[in-house]
Amino acid sequence: MKDTHVILFSALFSLLLSCSGLSAATQQLTFLGTADLQGQLESTPRSIDLGKQGKKIDVVGGIARLATLIKEIKQQNQDPVIVLSSGDDLMGRYFHTFDGKAIFTLLGSAGYEVLGLGNHEFDRGPGLLAEALEKTTFVSLCSDLTVKGTVLEGSCQPLLIRKYNGVNIGFFSLMTPKFPYVTTTGNVSLNGSSHTVAKQMAAELRQKGADLVVAITHIGADLDRELAAGVEGIDLIFGGHSHAYLPKLETVNKTLIVNGGEKGAALVRLDVRLGNDNKIIPGSAAYSLIPVTESIAEDKATAQQLQHYSDQLPASVVLGRTDKAWQLDKKSVRAGESTVADMVNDLILVKFQVDVVLNNGGAFRGNKQYPAGQITDTMLHEIDEFENDVYLLKIKGKYLHEILEHSAALFGQGGFLQVAGLRVTINPSASSQEIAKKGENWQVLNPGKRIVEAQIRNKDGSYAAIEPEKEYSLATNAYLAQNGGDQYYWFKEYGHDQVNTYTTLYSLLAEKLNQTHLLNPPTPDGRIHLVRAD
């Protein structure tokens, strides 16, 4: 029985064609796909906002239901249906257990044809990725990556042209500019800026006879828009990396832009009509995000294949080990220096080359002591319960000082900040900062006196006082940077050049464990020092 979502969309598209006066004989192409599947092969109930009047939609996702949608749409269309992925598919338990082979095998079985690599494909290094790509049935693109002379050479290609019913479609891919900092690149590197590579690829594809040019990007929705505005000759941008569910089709500089969110919660569908010149007829595109709901039956063959792998999954995947206990009770992370937070924040400091790292104690979950021994994926998921992305920004020293006073006022609570790149002396018994919101703006009513001293670490290891008018580079998490969590309004109001790294504490720790297999919290270094008034 055909799925209701597919039938309704097909009927709607036919109606749009009739209303626009387009001939039924006009060539049609259908693009399907997902972004940032993140290894979410199984169905997992959750609610998402697809931009439909702000209403949440209950979805379950799962590769078997995606396979059903893809197969049904292909069966209903005599015209070509092209299935794409914009990367970040290799994550999670199936990745850590089967080294990418399970995820890529199931993508192939579900009908995916072209994949643009994302940064998380490299989380366990290019060597493992090359092995995972050995027997795939789809084509992998790496247009802006230098892979010649690396283990990845021959595993992916810079461009692709395929003919569909006489129409030559050219494909290329783009990787996030943060690639060198957010994953394990090995000796694979970016070979140019997104705009430079896009111009080269679009021109080369046209020269080789492409009628349409499709960019499969992993740079985020905002950069997709900038790309479309700055580069001519791209007909479609099939985007990923920003986890954005674009509620409607966007058009910038005649380039169509779509994005499918994350974790297989929705399937992107874009239908376009082509004229006699094999160009997209303006106004002919019909776009939809099809929610992957429980009402969609699972494709039996794909479900059986998934079961084959899921039966082999251990209760927890061992990622590495620790010789020291990880103390994560509330007092440890909310009322003093936490060695686990020190470890995580130092990893962020080094990885993103910032001056300061600030993470609220409440971002570190688990609320218990994890004994020395194995470090598992279950343990890391418990610690990073909220899956907060790391954000980068710049902010002046005077606001940084106010942020630290706010942290001191929240001593013993989830908003108390764990730090890296600075050292701070706090007197919890001194008068605390007071803030209040007047209209839309926050104001500091009482500056507080709990910060006895706060110093930034210099590159040579020495420390210096925070300079009020100097701008510092800072890393924090989405809860604080984007949501103003725990009333930290300074990040969004006074911080600028905010960048989402799309790196979670989980992925950061898992990547490090893949490199070292051993992760021990350091000895406390006094970066948070508590004093009491006499």
By residue range, what is the domain housing residue 69?
31-310
Res 130 pLDDT > 50: yes
How confident is the model at residue 286, as a pLDDT? Answer: 97
Question: Alpha helices of 372-461 — where are they, by DSSP H?
Answer: 377-383, 397-409
How confident is the model at residue 534, as a pLDDT? Answer: 54
- The pLDDT tens digits of the residues spanning 344-376 come to 999 999 999 999 999 999 999 999 999 999 999
Looking at the fold, whether 275 and 374 belong to one and the same domain comes out as no
How confident is the model at residue 5, as a pLDDT? Answer: 53
Looking at the fold, whether 347 and 451 belong to one and the same domain comes out as yes
Tokens representing 488? Answer: 């930290």
Domain boundary among 250, 283, 310: 310
CATH number at residue 498: 3.90.780.10
Report CA 476 to chain centroid distance, whole Å.
16
Res 491 pLDDT > 90: yes
Rounded CA separation 126/153 (Å): 10
- The pLDDT tens digits of the residues spanning 198-237 come to 999 999 999 999 999 999 999 999 999 999 999 999 999 9
How confident is the model at residue 49, as a pLDDT? Answer: 86
How confident is the model at residue 439, as a pLDDT? Answer: 86
Nearest to 35 by CA among 263, 221, 247: 263
How confident is the model at residue 440, as a pLDDT? Answer: 85
Residue 52 CB neighbours (<10 A)? 12
CATH number at residue 196: 3.60.21.10
Looking at the fold, whether 62 and 125 belong to one and the same domain comes out as yes
Res 403 pLDDT > 50: yes
In a domain, residue 7? The reply is no
How confident is the model at residue 260, as a pLDDT? Answer: 85
In a domain, residue 20? The reply is no
Mean pLDDT (the chain) is: 93
Q: Give DSSP secondary structure letters for 246-311.
A: -SS-EEETTEEEEEB-STTSEEEEEEEEE-TTS-BPTT--EEEEEE--TTSPPPHHHHHHHHHHHT
Kindly indicate the confidence band of residue 532, based on its pLDDT and cuts at 50, 70 and 90: confident
Tokens representing 354? Answer: 């910032």
Rounded CA separation 164/82 (Å): 9
Beta bridge partners of 420: 357
- The pLDDT tens digits of the residues spanning 82-113 come to 999 999 999 999 999 999 999 999 999 999 99
pTM as predicted? 0.88
What percent of the chain has pLDDT above 70? 94
End-to-end Cα distance, the chain = 78
- The pLDDT tens digits of the residues spanning 134-152 come to 999 999 999 999 999 999 9
Looking at the fold, whether 426 and 454 belong to one and the same domain comes out as yes
In a domain, residue 10? The reply is no
How confident is the model at residue 227, as a pLDDT? Answer: 98
Looking at the fold, whether 327 and 349 belong to one and the same domain comes out as yes
Nearest to 183 by CA among 336, 390, 29: 390
Res 24 pLDDT > 70: no
